[in-house]
Structure 1
Amino acid sequence: MSVPDYMQCAEDHQTVVVVVQPMGIVPEEQFFRIYKRIASVSQVSIRDSQRVLFIRFRHHYPPENNEWGDFQTHRKVVGLISVTSCNTAKEWPQTSDRFHGQKEVFGSTLYDSRLLVFGLQGEVAEQQRTDVAFYPSYDDCPDVEKRVEDFVESIFIVLESKRLDRATDKSGDKIQMLCVPFEKKDFVGLDTDSRHYKKRCQGRMRKHVGDLCLQAGMLQDALVHYHMAVELLRSVNDFLWLGAALEGLCSASVIFHYPGGTAGKSGARKPSVSSAADAGKRHRPGAQEVLIDPGALTSSGISADTSAEIGRAKNCLSQEDIIEKYKEAISYYGKYKSAGVIELEACIKAVRVLAIQKRAMEASEFLQNAVYINLGQLSEEEKIQRYSVLSELYELIGFQRKSAFFKRVAAMQCVAPTIPEPGWKACYKLLLETLPGYSLSLDPKDFSKGTHRGWAAVQLRLLHELVYASRRMGNPGLSVRHLSFLLQTMLDFLSDQEKKEVTQSLENYTSKCPGGMEVISLPDGLKLPPVPFTKLPIVRSVSLLNLPVSLRPHKVKGLLGQGLSSASPFIYSPITMHSRGDERSKKIDFQWVQGDVCEVQLMVYNPMPFELRVENMGLLTSGVDFESLPAALSLPAESGLYPVTLVGVPRTAGNITINGYHTSVFGVSSDCLLEGLVGVKSSGCMVEVVPSLPRLQLCTSLPRSAHLSSEDLSTSVSLQLFNGETQQLTITLENIGTETLNTLELTSKTLSTKEKLFGEFLTWDLQDALSHLPLKSGQSVSIPVNISAKLDFSGQESLLNDLNDDGISVTGLPVSSPLRQVLKPRTENKPVGSDASKNEFNHVKYTSYGWCCFNGYLGSNYDITLECSAHIQVHCELVKSSLLYCQFFHMYSTYIQRIEIALLSDPRCIQITLTVEPKNLDQI
């Protein structure tokens, strides 16, 4: 026997084999539909008996395996069901002849046969025959299962008669010598009258009867015959048949201990034995009941107290003894090269039993022995099947990596060079099944949870094989996905040269089929999730940036009334705090403005040994409509942290959440979410977007001066005035946005001065400007502002003391006169405190001209202070008798840059230092 049945299990010893084959031209789909219905009748309860006959249906069975039917009767084909199509009565004679020819293949062992004819109607079809069933079509055959049950009962009748004939054989010494195919030549010229030969014949026949009893549902009788066969065969050293008798004894004991079966089938088989006492009730009248005393078998190695261990069944092995007898039987099989298939199948049966007993290490020993069993020249398909079954058995006992190893060997066998048409699809499918054994998952999220699991070198090899197999399948999209997965998850284990090679291969694949973020569905239902490149480049921190100082919105204080709160009427609300805790922790304390460019800064670095080009890098947001403005990066090789600013424009107001960013690297588009980034520091990801504000450009007629502070929203202008002098400043406001300005308010504030001011330092008239409101887009309005210098210098001595304390004295003190403008909603349109007034904003955006420009936001809820700092140099007498000096300063003030005044030892004298440019010395 050269073809092993890798699905063999111990309970198969109680089954009979029935072959179901198509005859002639039968559509494959129709045949397997009928075959499925036939195979559903896997066990039949015999009428007028408590016994059950189990059937093992096969649609393909090697005839050479049938020759071993005497050695183990469960290998013998006892039934044949042929399925054929016959449309006319003229075809019937030829169909009948074919059926008889098909029976001849298994003719020596068949107990009964049936022919199912589909499509024939008429006189021939109306004939009543027991061996032929006619049906009009494949869809109109309601009683197929009933026909099969009748067929199985007829097989049981023949089986029972053979069992009785063998068990009650009175031929004495003339017992038939049963043998296997390779033994026939060894018995030529053998002395058939010797006692040794007769004992061998008796032992083999006793073992054969045990097989028949097991198939006929008489488990206790089978155990008795197996024990007797073991005694007889051991005495004559008939090792091959002794091994078969021991295996039969193990199978019968397994059937008793595990009535649900050992093959992992869903349907549990019925127990065939309840006790030894009622075994005789299942016999036909006249059947012999032969029981041997277990105590008499201790010399042969069979435990004397097995009945106590099992509880009820006599002669049944314990669970531990079953494995020992399997080992002994396999050792006997190993003595015969031609019994390799029998040895292999016995190992598989023992492994299935050990798997149920949770004895994985012992099961692995049987499997290791099965690996080295030489079965001669196997076809490629048989090799694939052998490695696949070994993989399944290793998985059954929990050896996942060993299972993955043999499954990968089977995958490589599918594309062996000797195969004319390599099966790349089968190879790819088997490779996918090896992933769990090597701690691999096709979901990149599993690799961001902690430390790496498994052997990286083996995983890299397997991923490369998946890439190659998918490419040979003609599916470049799969190749891109697997190569992207390899680069993302195995980047830390790649050398610099491997990184270059992998990226080059990825670029070659993506030039034909770009990679994306869609889920790839395979034909067997497996789904490949997208693989975002979160390591190309690696992001370490994400920060949302505030708007520039001149563009930040500020809440208007006092417009809604002091002390009013629109959030909640309660002082403390624990429900609100707990429900919004996470949201508040993510929300940022500044605002963005609808329609303005907003920025998010990422700190990234390039882990590759070459320059990394990142294209189409932009933000992923939710909450409001957001227009992301993509950027392109070029990061140097193995760069340090590198700041990257991503920008975009919110198109609607509300709360916007920055979920991540998208990139395009090596032709693969990726959506990288912040929650999937490892070790990323983020100060928050949610920010409020206020509605669009008007843009106002403010210019003055005075020259500009330097800013006093980087955080100052104003633009300073310089102005020189003598004490008592008044000068007019013209402020021009132009609406350069699309929103309309409704109201205008102008306020002033003195920042610092040590002198006492007389009257208003700044005065203006808004009547003309207010008459031009509302100010529409493109319109402008001018506001005249009078600046008057009226200072009190009556306390000269204290002033001089202050100047002396500083070590230096100046003639003029800086005086800031801030201008503040507030746009208020009209009371008749938007009452104070209404929701409309809360959500309205106006915006001023500056444009640089030759004049001084003021920048910032204006609005009913947000305002900004616009300051115009006038640095006034006041030239006056420091001592009452120094009128000459005042006249001198007045005449030459245009040439003097700086005046320093210092006190001398004589309190009546002071020192005045003038600073002038060299070109003006001659003038002075």
Structure 2
Amino acid sequence: MSVPDYMQCAEDHQTVLVVVQPVGIVPEDQFFRIYKRIASVAQVSIRDSQRNLYIRYRHHYLPENNEWGDFQTHRKVVGLISVTTCGSAKEWPQTLDRFHSQKEVFGATLYDSRLLVFGLQGEIAEQQRTDVAFYSSYEDCPNVEKRVEDFVESIFIVLESKRLDRATDKSGDKIPLLCVPFEKKDFVGLDTDSRHYKKRCQGRMRKHVGDLCLQAGMLQDALVHYHMAVELLRSVNDFLWLGAALEGLCSASVIFHYPGGTAGKASGRKPSLAQGQGQAADAGKRHRPGAQEVLIDPGALTANGISADTSSEIGRAKNCLGPEDIIEKYKEAISYYGKYKNAGVIELEACVKAVRVLAIQKRAMEASEFLQNAVYINLGQLSEEEKIQRYSILSELYHLIGFHRKSAFFKRVAAMQCVAPTIPEPGWRACYKLLLETLPGYSLSLDPKDFSKGSHRGWAAVQMRLLHELVYASRRMGNPGLSVRHLSFLLQTMLDFLSDQEKKEVTQSLENYTSKCPGGMEVLTLPDGLKLPPVAFSKLPIIRSVKLLDLPVSLRPHKQKGLLENNMSTKSPFIYSPIIMHTRGEERNKKIEFQWVQGEVCEVQLMVYNPMPFELRVEHMGLLTSGVEFEALPAALSLPAESGLYPVTLVGVPRTAGNITVNGYHTSVFGVTSDCLLEGLPSVLTSGCVVEVIPSLPRLQLSTSLPRSAHPLQPSKEELSSSVSVQLFNGETQHLTITLENIGSEDLETLEVASKTCNTKEKLFGEFLSWDLDEAVSQLPLKPGQSVTLTVNIKVRLDFSGGENLLQDLNDDGISVTGLPISSPLRQVLKPRAETKPLGSESSKTDYNHVKPIMLGVIRVGVTVCLKSRGGAEDRRTERQTDCSFSHVEKKAHRGGRRHTEGDEGTQRGTKAHRGGRRHTEGDEGTQRGTG
């Protein structure tokens, strides 16, 4: 026997073996359909008896294994069921001959046989035969199971007769010597009359009868015979058969203690004690772990060693081994098997049976010792398929006892055996499937989310080796998409454990694969139904923080209660509100205070870090949002090696109004497209991800006819200031032309102009600003692209009678007033102090280089757009406003030089001025965008 049955368990010793095979040409699917129905009859209750007969079916069985039937009767083929297709009466003789030829293969051991014929009709099919059953088709065969039950009962009749014949043998001392195949040559010329030989024959026959009793459902009788066989065989040092007797004793005890079976599936088997005596419920009372191996009455034995009645020979309670004794006897039996080179298969199967028993007893360490012994059992020259099967079964058994890493090790060995160099056609698909099954044993999951829950689990070096093998196997399978997915997973989850050289090699391999098959975020489904989740490169680059940015000052919206009125305080009059604090705290943490505007470019700032030892090129990077329609504008990055943090601004344009949520970002790195969600990045700092998008607001461009002032105002957060300069003498009048152009997409419906006088130390006489708004209002509403002109008259009348205060103010500014009466305010000459005047200068010359401007006032222009809701009611009232400030200067101050202007005179776009330098402008100079 060269091929072990790794699926055997201890309870298989009480089964009879039936082979089911096709005869002639039978469709494979139809055969296994019938085979499944036949195999469903695994237990039959015998009529007029309390015993059950258990059947084990095989559709393939080597005839050479049948030669070991005397050694262990459950290995003997006692039944044959043949399945054939016969379409006509002409084919019937040939079909019948094939059936008889098939019976001859197992003819020496068969108790009975059956032939199931499908498709034959006519006179032949109408004949009543016990060994042949005819069916019109594979679909129309309702009584197959009933036929099988009758067949099993006929097997039991033969089995019971053989058991009785062996047990009541009266042939004197002439008991035949049962042998295994390799022993026959050893007994040639042996003295058959010696006492030693007779005991050997008696012991082996006792063991054989014990097997028959166990198969016939007489568990108690089997225990008696096994005990007697052990004593006889031990006395003559017949170690091979002594091991078989001990194994039989263990099997019978296992069947009694564990009626549910040890194969890991519910078989529903129950203890079958003769005459219904004994129950498993009180097994603990009657069977102690230290029970004696055998207590035999010597008078119970006849001259030939076989007693006709053994039911009263031995107390049942002392025949069954306890749970611990079962394992000790298994060890002893295996040690006896190990003495024989040709008994390697028997030894290996005994180890497997013991492991299954220990798994039920939850004795994992002892089970691992049996498995370790099984690994080193030499079975001679095994085929590659047999090696794969052996390593796979070892893996399953290690998994059964909870040794998951050891199980994964042998599963991986089996996978490598599938593609051994000696195999002409390597099975890469089988290799890949086995490698996938090893992942749990190495604490490895193909879901990237499992690696973001905490510290790394498992051995990173082993995991990386396994992932590389998966990549190679998937490539040899001809599936580059799988290779890309596994490489992406390796790079994402094992980045911290890769050396610099390994990082370069992995990325180069990934780029080679993605050049043929780009990676994406779709779920890959394998042929066996396993789904591979997508892998997002959240570490390429690493994101440390995400911050939503407010709009530029010129685009920021703000609510107003009324046109050109001061904002009312929106703060609650209550000091503390527990409801708001506790129910909306989470929302406040996520909601952004400012607002975005529909149709305007919005920005999100990311702080990124490049962990790679080379320059990282992100070909495509954009925002992932939800809530409103959003057009993400992609960006491309190039980050230096192992450096950061770098601020990266991602932009986009919301196309509709509502609440928008920034869910994450998407990238394209090394040919792999990734969608990285912020909820999967717990280490990323963020101040909030939800912001309100209000409907589109008007955009206004303001230009004036006067030059820009060198002393601009400091506007508030909600205002933009465009300071212009006008130089007038007291009482002089000048015209200011203000042009307002609608450069947005909304209509301007209302225009209001107001003025405000700044605090000055001079006294103003009357209003110095005047305008006529009727002509400008008549052109409203102002369509996009249209402009309106407003003329403002500036006339200044000042009172400089408070001269002392003026002199003090000028001195504070580092300017001295000399030589002119205070009563002539427009004739005052401003000079620097004497200590600041350079040596050698002419004191008699008038110096106009230092002139103090006097701020007169501010003119505020307000433009309103009314946004209508669907029902026509006014939904929101927004305003954009611009301030133009004016400064009065007593004397022209630019002697001998030209006036400096930028772009169109008097125009400015809303940016802050830099002290000591020129003003920074955006876009076309002279453009100012209002707020609303």
TM band (smaller chain)? 0.7 to 0.9
**What SS does the corresponding residue of 1:641 show, helix, strand or coil?**
strand
Counterpart-to-counterpart distance in 2, 1:631 and 1:568: 42
Equivalence for 1:882: none
- Distance in 2 of aligned mates of 1:114 and 1:380: 35
Change (3 A) 1:577 1:563: farther
Q: CA RMSD in A?
A: 2.7
Partners of 2:640 and 2:394 lie apart in 1 by 50
SS in 1 for 2:326: helix
- Output the CA distance in 1 between the equivalents of 2:21 and 2:574: 84
| Aligned-pair CA distance for 1:93 | 0.8
SS in 1 for 2:757: coil
Q: How does 1:65-80 map to 2 (within 5 A)?
A: 65-80=65-80
Partner residue in 1 for 2:640: 636
- Aligned with 2:859 (options 815, 819, 822): 819
1:179–1:836 CA distance, 2 compared to 1 (3 A): same
Q: Deviations over 1:456-512 (max 9, x none)?
A: 111111101101111111111111111111111111111122111111111111111
Q: Is the 8 A contact 2:220 2:274 kept in 1?
A: no
**Structure 1's 50 and 9: CA in aligned 2 closer, same or farther, altered over 3 A?**
same
Shifted more, 36-45 versus 708-717: the winner is 708-717
Q: State the match for 1:41 in structure 2.
A: 41
The question of 1:88 aligning with 2:95 is answered: no
1 CA distance for matches of 2:868 and 2:500?
Answer: 66
Give the structure 2 partner of residue 804 of structure 1.
811
2:883 is the counterpart of 1:867: yes
C-alpha displacement of 1:587 = 1.2
1:837 to 835, 858, 874: 874
What SS is found at the alignment partner of 1:446?
Answer: helix
- Matches of 2:208 and 2:104 in 1, distance apart? 24
Counterpart of 2:113, as a letter, is: S
Q: Deviation string for 1:282-320 (max 9, x for gaps)?
A: xxxxxxxxxxx97694799xxxxxxxxxx9744111111
Residue pairs, 1:93-492, within 5 angstroms: 93-273=93-273, 277=277, 297=294, 313-492=317-496
CA contact (8 A) 2:69 2:75 kept: yes
Q: Identify the range of structure 1 (606-615 vs 717-726) with the bigger mean alpha-carbon deviation.
A: 717-726
Q: Residue 345 and residue 608 in structure 1: after superposition, are their counterparts in 2 closer, same or farther (change >3 A)? A: same
Q: Is the 8 A contact 2:551 2:596 kept in 1?
A: yes
Compared with structure 1, are the counterparts of its residues 114 and 836 closer, same or farther at alpha carbon in structure 2 (3 Å cutoff)?
same
Q: 1:729–1:787: 8 Å Cα contact kept in structure 2?
A: yes
Find the residue that maps to 1:547 and give its secondary structure. Answer: coil
Task: Out of 534-543 and 557-566, give the one that drifted further.
Answer: 557-566
Which residues of 2 match residues 686-765 of structure 1 at below 5 A?
Answer: 686-706=690-710, 707-709=712-714, 713-765=720-772
Aligned pair partner of 1:626 in 630, 643, 654:
630
Change (3 A) 1:6 1:893: closer
* Cα offset, 1:216, TM superposition: 0.6
Query: Alignment partner of 1:541: what SS?
Result: strand
Alpha-carbon distance in 2 for matches of 1:296, 1:579: 74
Give the drift of 1:763. Answer: 2.1
Q: CA deviation at 1:720?
A: 1.4
By how many angstroms is 1:269 displaced? 1.7
How far off is 1:273 after superposition? 3.4
- Is contact 1:817–1:867 with CA below 8 Å preserved after alignment? no
Report the TM-score, using the length of structure 1 for normalisation: 0.86
* Letter paired with 1:727: Q
Unaligned residue ranges in structure 1 (runs of 5+)? 280-292, 301-310, 840-859, 876-889, 899-924
Residue identity opposite 1:869 in structure 2? S
With 550-559 and 816-825 compared, the bigger mean Cα shift is at 816-825
Residue 822 of structure 1 aligns to which amino acid in structure 2? G
CA contact (8 A) 1:825 1:837 kept: no
Shift of 1:441: 0.4
Number of equivalenced pairs: 835
CA distance in 2, matches of 1:199, 1:438: 54
How far off its partner does 1:749 sit?
Answer: 2.0
Match of 1:684 in 2: 688
1:361: how far off? Answer: 0.4
Equivalent in the alignment of 1:645? 649
Q: Does the 8 A contact of 2:856 with 2:888 survive in 1?
A: no
Distance 1:472 1:295 in 2: 60
What is the alpha-carbon distance in structure 1 between the residues aligned to residue 679 and residue 412 of structure 2? 35
Cα distance 1:347–1:570, how it changes in 2: closer, same or farther (>3 A)?
A: same
Deviation of the 1:873 alpha carbon: 1.2
Provide the rounded CA distance (Å) in 1 between the counterparts of 2:571 and 2:265. 65
The 1-side partners of 2:670 and 2:136 are apart by 62
Quote the Cα distance in structure 1 between the aligned partners of 2:571 and 2:475: 61
Q: Counterpart of 2:380 in 1: which secondary structure?
A: coil
Q: CA deviation at 1:725?
A: 2.4
TM-aligned CA deviation for residue 575 of structure 1: 6.4
Q: Kindly provide the amino acid, as one letter, of the partner of residue 817 in structure 1.
A: G
8 Å contact 1:752–1:814 — kept in the other structure? no
1:256–1:567 CA distance, 2 compared to 1 (3 A) = farther
Q: Which amino acid aligns with 1:868?
A: C
Contact in 2 for aligned 1:743/1:824 (Cα 8 Å): yes
Code of the residue aligned with 2:532 in structure 1: it is L
TM-score normalised by structure 2 residue count: 0.86
Gaps of 5+ in 2: 280-289, 298-314, 817-829, 831-850, 900-932
Report Cα offsets for 1:627-654 as digits up to 9, x if no partner.
Answer: 1111111112222211211111110011
Deviation at 1:756?
2.5
Partner Cα distance (1:274, 1:812) in 2: 126
SS at match of 1:221: helix
Provide the rounded CA distance (Å) in 1 between the counterparts of 2:472 and 2:898: 81
Shift of 1:442: 0.3
Instruction: Name the residue aligned to 2:836.
Output: none
Question: Helix, strand or coil for the counterpart of 2:381?
Answer: coil
Give the one of 553, 557, 560 matched to 1:553. 557
Between stretches 641-650 and 756-765, larger displacement belongs to 756-765
Amino acid corresponding to residue 623 of structure 2 in structure 1: L
DSSP-derived class of the 1:542 partner: strand
C-alpha distance in 2, partners of 1:274/1:804?
Answer: 128
- Does the 8 Å contact 2:563/2:879 carry over to 1? no
What is the one-letter code of the residue matched to 1:201? C
State the distance in 2 between where 1:561 and 1:813 align. Answer: 29
Deviates more, 1:770-779 or 1:203-212: 770-779
1:837–1:861 CA contact under 8 A, matched in 2: no
CA deviation string 1:180-230 (max 9, x = no partner)? 111101111111111111111111111111111111111111111111111
Deviation at 1:607, TM superposition (A): 1.4
C-alpha deviation, 1:562, in angstroms: 9.4
Distance 1:762 1:646 in 2: 46
Contact 2:544–2:683 (Cα < 8 Å) also in 1: yes
Take 1:483 and 1:663, find their aligned partners in 2: how far apart are those partners? 17
Moved more, 629-638 or 145-154: 629-638
The equivalent of 2:309 in structure 1 is: none
Q: Is contact 1:609–1:637 with CA below 8 Å preserved after alignment? A: yes
Instruction: State the partner residue of 2:27.
Output: 27
Supply the distance in 2 between the matched residues of 1:606 and 1:670 (Cα, whole angstroms): 16
Percentage of matched positions with identical amino acids:
82
Q: Deviations over 1:48-90 (max 9, x none)?
A: 1111100000000011111000000000000000000111111
* Equivalent residue, structure 2, for 1:781: 788
- Residues of 2 paired with 1:244 and 1:510: CA distance? 60
Residue 816 to residue 387, structure 1, CA distance change in 2 (3 Å) = farther
Answer whether contact 2:203 2:228 (CA < 8 A) is retained. yes
Counterpart of 1:733 in structure 2: which amino acid? L
Distance 2:879 2:367 in 1: 79
More deviation in 546-555 or 106-115? 546-555
